[in-house]
Structure 1
Amino acid sequence: MEKAASGDTALLSLGASHFVMGCDFLGHIYGKTQQLVRTFSGRQRYNVPGALDYVSKKVHTITNDAYITAAEVCAMLRQIASEYKGLPVHLVLDNAGYQKCAAVQEPAEKLDTSLEYIPPYSPNLNLIEHIRKFVKGELRSKYYSDFANFRKKIDSAICNTSGSNKTKTDKLIGKGVQLYHDIRAVDNNTFSCPEGINNAV
């Protein structure tokens, strides 16, 4: 992180978001009388693989409304390599099958991009998760008349992470990440941290 802040390297966090219109973004309020809320008929999904620049907070995206595969990840790698020519690139990403495969790792090696896979169950180490949470907050409790408006709102929120929304994103993404030392497995999906939590850069 310090090297990225000084301009010696490019540090990006890669992750895919799946925004579902008509499902994920309903609000709620308590009242004594029944309220009718306008909703969209059916469900449509907007996939947004994105790579967050740790320093500028710019998010590089490739979008579709079908599926995310290794092909989209490779397209993202090429986009990033073109943007950061002359700089070593470190890309933090999770262990999704379409990301941790030869179809992605081989092009990354040719593009001189280092893939830094985070451990399982460690979303705290992938900073783009904060952007996903921010965008979902911008979408929640609002009515969208059609899928085009829904996509437009998402694109606008993401495009402005390094512009009009940068103050908000700076608050979400600090200068360190939360690390859990001496984690011990309790069962398959539960872990304990007896020695507490540490912040590290």
Structure 2
Amino acid sequence: MTIKLSFTQADIEALQLERYNHPHPRVQRKMEALWLKSQGLSHQPTAKLTGITENTLREYFRQFQQGGIEALKELKFRQPVSQLAEHQITLEEHFRSHPCASLKQACAQIEALTGIKRHPTNVRKFMIQLGMTYQKVGAIPAKACLQTQEDFKKNELLPRLEQAKQRQREVFWVDAAHFVLGSWLGYFWSFVRLFIKAPAGRQRFNVLAALNAITYQLITVTNNDYINAQSVCTLLQKLASSERGLPITLVLDNARYQKCRLVMELANSLGIELLFLPPYSPNLNLVERFWKFVKRKCLYGKYYDNFSSFTNAITDCLSKTHTTYKQELETLLTFNFQNFSKANIVTL
């Protein structure tokens, strides 16, 4: 059946505009076909030029005939509805309390609950539609007391940090890191999997650091064997010799070499306050975030062929905390401490 179409000048101008400027490519193709028809082309050449079948072209003509330009802008896709959608609420409740470690496990659980067997690819799409993502499990110290952490943060830590903001006190995050010369594997956007050489040996570069909570100035004590009480005493003496003119507070964990009599007596004689964190509370010491930052900047995905270049790279990174990296650290080391009170604990 021949479909007779008539075009006004306004129709032709609208088709000319929309064939290039409409945001959806399917609508652009409709407009192109009707514009060609408005220019006097017959049915078959129009279908050939636009790459549209003759039946589809006739459907576009009917849409224009019945509703004009606006009808061509309507998109009516036929999207199959997954059988799993009928069980969406049940499956969401199940996965909230029974997270899966693999797609194979998810497929098995879906089949057991619904009787529907699906390929892992389809299950993955369904789980994404539910709002699920594949995430690495985090670790919470099993013996940590959340209430003790909150009380410490409120009554001890935050008041001192507020004083530091007002330039009435200097607060330093203190901790040691042990960098081993080896393969520090990272992630890259790449077309094939990349490999880095693995250095021989297990030489270790130890860094005991005090990081200023406000200025990000870093004071360090380094060696190649181990950190002990004498290393902490050296750090205390470095801090005291800088003649800062403000009370100094060091926030540190309960490692034996930091909480021994030698260290505590020296700190007391130098007028330095040692503020020990509650047991099992690394989330309250922001220097932990800083060590991860250092590893990202100079270790992950990099190869050092000797111990000297390895230690030089770390030392160079540490020297830029209050200059080159200050802006990044201002974003990273905010006083928004991780709180585990609402964490989802895996009990499987």
Structure 1 position 75 matched with structure 2 position 75: no
The match for 1:174 among 329, 334, 337 is 334
Tell me the distance in 2 between the aligned counterparts of 1:75 and 1:151: 20
Is the radius of gyration larger for structure 1 or structure 2? 2
Q: Could you tell me whether the CA contact under 8 Å between 1:4 and 1:11 is conserved in 2?
A: yes
Tell me the distance in 2 between the aligned counterparts of 1:15 and 1:38: 30
Structure 1 position 161 matched with structure 2 position 304: no
Matched residue, 2:137 = none
Structure 1 position 65 matched with structure 2 position 224: yes
Shift in alpha-carbon separation, 1:31–1:135, aligned structure 2, 3 A: closer
Shift in Å, 1:67: 0.8
Matched residue, 1:92 = 251
Q: Could you tell me whether the CA contact under 8 Å between 1:52 and 1:127 is conserved in 2?
A: no
Shift in Å, 1:121: 1.6
Q: Which amino acid aligns with 2:246?
A: L
Structure 1 position 128 matched with structure 2 position 128: no
Structure 1 position 18 matched with structure 2 position 178: yes
Matched residue, 2:163 = 3
The match for 1:108 among 237, 247, 267 is 267
Stretch of structure 1 that moved more, 164-173 or 34-43? 34-43
* % identical equivalent positions: 39
Tell me the distance in 2 between the aligned counterparts of 1:99 and 1:113: 13
TM-score relative to the length of structure 2 = 0.49
Q: Higher strand share goes to which structure?
A: 1
Q: Could you tell me whether the CA contact under 8 Å between 1:10 and 1:84 is conserved in 2?
A: no
Tell me the distance in 1 between the aligned counterparts of 2:333 and 2:196: 34
- Consecutive unaligned residues in structure 1, runs of 5 or more: 181-192
Aligned residues, how many?
Answer: 182
Tell me the distance in 2 between the aligned counterparts of 1:161 and 1:31: 30
Per-residue CA distance 1:6-48 (angstroms, 9 max, x = gap): 111110111000001115x123679998865322111111000
RMSD: 2.2
Per-residue CA distance 1:105-152 (angstroms, 9 max, x = gap): 000000011100001221111111111010111211101011111101
Q: Which amino acid aligns with 1:79?
A: K
Shift in alpha-carbon separation, 1:55–1:28, aligned structure 2, 3 A: closer
Tell me the distance in 2 between the aligned counterparts of 1:114 and 1:77: 10
Tell me the distance in 2 between the aligned counterparts of 1:150 and 1:126: 26
Shift in Å, 1:178: 3.8
Shift in Å, 1:85: 3.4
